[in-house]
């Protein structure tokens, strides 16, 4: 028993349960991706969203899904799942199979889902911030009230093209929200070793872009911030910049075995005390939204679901060799042969 007064809930129990389920599913999905990579079933580069789940759940449930534009970098599995992509199609893509979002041509870093307005999935750090600008430009050009969410990392916040994009966003009042996911590491380089001013929220200032720094480990807080900012950008038709303070509990990529080169185990353990899923877990118990038994059953259910998705993906066919030539162009084939 505790004498502590229960925290006040700003959202209905059903929404809290939804967000918990979504983030837990994402976490288990990502752990399975790590497993796939370690077992040689997924190749290339693979980046997990473990610890950063509120940024997908909080923001993407606050937009008009299927209408507003979303674009991110290579740590993109969570965005696809929250936007409504079929988890099997996501897993197939990560395993490079037919039935993947791009039938195995994109891979983990390049998830696109046009139906759900997910525009990638990009691997050149910072470069997609200009693509996001173009999405926002198109919305404004057509007089639509779509908002574009463009996620980027703290490392990308140093790229020149990001500043070029901020300048044009500010110059033309484009309705885009740049969300800098500051997880404190540009791959293996700590924030204070890569940023002249570690307050990344200031990066919008020179371009007249309203900006703020937001703690982003508590999904309920993220939701509140997201709803407020999205509404404002949609209404006022101007850009906004958010520095979202977050933390990745796992390596930069699934192959990152050198975390001790840039952070201590103690630092990670300390950060994990604010694991966004645990934070919500506690709220759920405190407010009797679910019982401990129900929470355990939920986790078991998701593990079984993800196991099944993985098994199906692994049983899915590889692309046919002749698929290599399709969709290089919309209308012609490239030259054939070696």
Partner 1 sequence: MSVMIYRDAIRQALIEELDRDDNVFLIGEDIGRYQGTFRVTQGLYEKYGSRRVVDTPITEPAIVGLANGAAMAGLRPVVEMMTMSFSILALDQIINHSAKIHYMSDGQLKVPLVIRGPGGAANQLSAQHSHSIEGWYAHVPGLKVVAPSTPDCAKGLLKAAIRDDNPVIFTENPGLYGLKSEVNDDPNYVIPFGKARVAREGKDISLIAYSRMLHVCEAVAEKLEADGISAEVIDVRCLKPLDTETIFASVRKTHRAAVVYEDWKFGGFGGEIASQISEECFDDLDAPVLRVGGLNVPMPYSRVLELECIPEVQDVLATLKKIL
Per CB under 8 A, the list member of 63, 139, 177, 244 interacting with partner 1 is 139
The string of DSSP letters for 100-132 reads STTTTSS-TT--EEGGGTEE----STTTHHHHH
Strand partners, 148: 69, 176
Residue 99 engages partner 1 in binding (rule: CB under 8 A): no
Which H or E element spans position 151?
Answer: strand 148-153
Residue 130 engages partner 1 in binding (rule: CB under 8 A): yes
Query: Quick one: CA dihedral 56, 246, 107, 114, positive or negative?
Result: positive
Identify the three-state secondary structure at position 187: coil
Q: Between vectors from CA 219 to CA 290 and to CA 108, what angle results, nearest 5°?
A: 105
CA–CA separation, 41 and 139 (whole Å) = 39
Residue 138 engages partner 1 in binding (rule: CB under 8 A): yes
Contacting range for partner 1; rule: CB under 8 A; set: 56-64, 115-123, 297-305, 310-318:
115-123
Residue 33 engages partner 1 in binding (rule: CB under 8 A): no
Contacting range for partner 1; rule: CB under 8 A; set: 6-14, 193-201, 245-253, 320-328:
320-328
276 φ/ψ sector (left φ>0, alpha ψ -120 to 50, else beta): alpha
Q: Give me the residue label for tokens 């079933």.
A: 41
Closer to partner 1 at the Cβ: 164 or 210? 164
Tell me the site size for partner 1, rule CB under 8 A. Answer: 45
Continuous H helices in the chain: 13-38, 53-60, 77-83, 87-94, 128-141, 160-172, 191-194, 219-236, 265-272, 276-286, 292-315
Residue 327 engages partner 1 in binding (rule: CB under 8 A): yes
Residue 92 engages partner 1 in binding (rule: CB under 8 A): no
103 φ/ψ sector (left φ>0, alpha ψ -120 to 50, else beta): left
Per CB under 8 A, the list member of 57, 61, 102, 108 interacting with partner 1 is 102
Per CB under 8 A, the list member of 14, 197, 331, 336 interacting with partner 1 is 331
Per CB under 8 A, the list member of 57, 85, 108, 165 interacting with partner 1 is 165
Residue 110 engages partner 1 in binding (rule: CB under 8 A): yes
Residue 131 engages partner 1 in binding (rule: CB under 8 A): yes
At its nearest, how many Å lie between partner 1 and the CB of residue 169? 10
Residue 204 engages partner 1 in binding (rule: CB under 8 A): no
Residue 173 engages partner 1 in binding (rule: CB under 8 A): no
Per CB under 8 A, the list member of 261, 315, 332, 336 interacting with partner 1 is 332
Contacting range for partner 1; rule: CB under 8 A; set: 55-63, 122-130, 273-281, 303-311:
122-130
Per CB under 8 A, the list member of 3, 5, 40, 160 interacting with partner 1 is 160
Identify the three-state secondary structure at position 211: strand
CA–CA separation, 71 and 59 (whole Å) = 12
Site for partner 1 in 43-82 (CB under 8 A): 69, 71
Residues of this chain that bind partner 1 (CB under 8 A): 69, 71, 101-103, 105-106, 110, 112-114, 119-122, 124, 127-139, 141, 160-161, 164-165, 167-168, 171, 326-332, 334
């Amino acid at each position: 028993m505790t004498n502590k007064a229960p925290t006040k809930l700003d959202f209905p129990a059903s929404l809290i349960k939804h967000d918990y389920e979504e983030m837990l599913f994402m976490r288990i999905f990502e752990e399975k991706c790590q497993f796939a990579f370690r077992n040689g079933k997924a190749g290339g580069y693979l980046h997990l969203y473990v610890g950063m789940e509120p940024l997908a759940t909080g923001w993407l449930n606050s937009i008009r899904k299927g209408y507003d534009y979303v674009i991110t970098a290579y740590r993109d599995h969570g965005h696809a799942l929250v936007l409504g992509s079929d988890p099997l199609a996501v897993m197939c893509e990560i395993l490079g199979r037919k039935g993947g979002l791009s039938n195995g041509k994109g891979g983990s870093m390049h998830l696109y889902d046009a139906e759900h307005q997910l525009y990638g999935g990009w691997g050149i750090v910072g470069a997609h911030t200009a693509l996001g600008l173009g999405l926002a430009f198109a919305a404004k050009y057509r007089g639509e009230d779509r908002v574009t969410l463009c996620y980027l990392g703290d490392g990308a916040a140093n790229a020149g093209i990001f500043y070029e994009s901020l300048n044009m966003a500010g110059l033309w009042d484009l309705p885009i929200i740049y969300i800098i996911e500051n997880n404190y590491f540009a791959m293996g380089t700590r924030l204070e070793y890569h940023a002249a001013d570690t307050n990344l929220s200031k990066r919008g200032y020179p371009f007249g872009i309203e900006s703020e720094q937001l703690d982003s480990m508590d999904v309920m807080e993220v939701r509140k911030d997201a709803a407020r900012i999205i509404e404002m950008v949609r209404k006022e038709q101007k850009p906004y910049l958010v520095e979202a303070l977050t933390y990745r509990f796992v390596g930069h990529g699934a192959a990152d075995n050198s975390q001790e080169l840039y952070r201590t185990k103690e630092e990670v353990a300390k950060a994990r005390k604010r694991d966004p899923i645990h934070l919500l877990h506690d709220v759920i118990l405190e407010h009797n939204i679910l019982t401990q038994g129900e929470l355990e059953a939920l986790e078991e259910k998701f593990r079984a679901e993800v196991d099944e998705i993985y098994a199906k993906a692994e049983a899915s066919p590889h692309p046919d060799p002749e698929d290599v030539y399709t969709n290089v162009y919309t209308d012609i084939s490239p030259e054939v042969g070696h």
